[in-house]
Amino acid sequence: MREFTVRVISQKALTKDIFLLNLKLEKPFKSLTPGQFFMIKIQDGFEPFLRRPLAWFSYDKNKKSIQFAYKVVGKGTTILAHKKTEEKLNILGPLGKGFSSYLKKEKLLFVAGGAGIFPFFSILENLSEKQKKNSKLIWGVNKKNDLFYINKLKNKLPIYLVTEDGSISKKALATDVVEKILSEDQNDWFIIACGPAEMLKNLANLLEKYKLNGELSMEERMACGFGACLGCAVPSKKGGYLRACKDGPVFRFDEIDWKRVK
């Protein structure tokens, strides 16, 4: 983990409120795990005060560039979306525990809710042939226009796209599709999930019902991002709390006390 300055190479809109930021690194990273994140200082000065945690989207070691996909949700991300080529950013990372348990599994069920799809692109790049054959991806969004890069996903795995407003096929949630798949075949799936807490909570209940395991990425408001301030509390099965930034953001489903997750 280090603090360093990057230069904006380019930025483009993937949907109305999702942007892809391409940054030039001075030094490459030794390794990055999907699901790890960086704390981004939006601009000089005190506004906005805190850094913004963003998971990396893709990384080109040879070109020494890193890309972040993010959704504009507030003050910080709005300013970020206006950054132009050659502008500088100060970032801190890589931080946190990424997705790793899936590496040893063959039958993977990817479940993405909305912008939760972001970390899966880099995971899909590196799946084994066996994994590609046996795995599926479910992506649930609010409406059709929230989708992007579908072809990149279709090339890798069978994918199920569902929308909450029914603008593609019928109205459904990602968890509805999971339930259907598991009811037809509940054996040996390992779930990898990323999305809103409500989706993850419903998924956790499903996994308990079918006695399956998996890992997920948990979001929580962060101040430091490196484990020092105890701000990003995630309820732990063992009682008390874990830190999303240090003990996560990727957790096993059975690490979290879902009853206490709001």
Instruction: Tell whether residue 44 is a contact of other proteins (CB under 8 A).
Output: no
Task: Retrieve residue 165's tokens.
Answer: 């407003």
Name beta bridge partners: 70. 19
Interface with other proteins in residues 144-183 (CB under 8 A): none
Supply the minimum distance, in Å, between the C-beta of residue 212 and other proteins.
27
Pick 196 or 227: Cβ nearer other proteins: 227
Instruction: Tell whether residue 142 is a contact of other proteins (CB under 8 A).
Output: no
Interface with other proteins in residues 74-93 (CB under 8 A): 75, 92
Consecutive H or E run containing 243: strand 241-243
Instruction: Tell whether residue 47 is a contact of other proteins (CB under 8 A).
Output: yes
Name beta bridge partners: 213. 190
> What backbone phi and psi angles, to 5 degrees, belong to 35?
100, -15
Instruction: Tell whether residue 3 is a contact of other proteins (CB under 8 A).
Output: yes
Instruction: Tell whether residue 196 is a contact of other proteins (CB under 8 A).
Output: no
Q: How far is CA 112 from the centre of its chain?
A: 8
Separation between Cα atoms, residue 49 and residue 256, nearest integer Å = 30
| Residues ≥6 apart with Cβ < 8 Å to 108 | 102, 127, 131, 134, 135, 136, 189, 190, 191, 192
Binding-site member from 85, 186, 229, 252 for other proteins (CB under 8 A): 229
Binding-site member from 32, 222, 250, 256 for other proteins (CB under 8 A): 222
Instruction: Tell whether residue 240 is a contact of other proteins (CB under 8 A).
Output: yes
Which residue ranges make up the site for other proteins (CB under 8 A)? 1, 3, 41, 46-51, 75, 92, 220-224, 226-235, 239-241, 260, 262
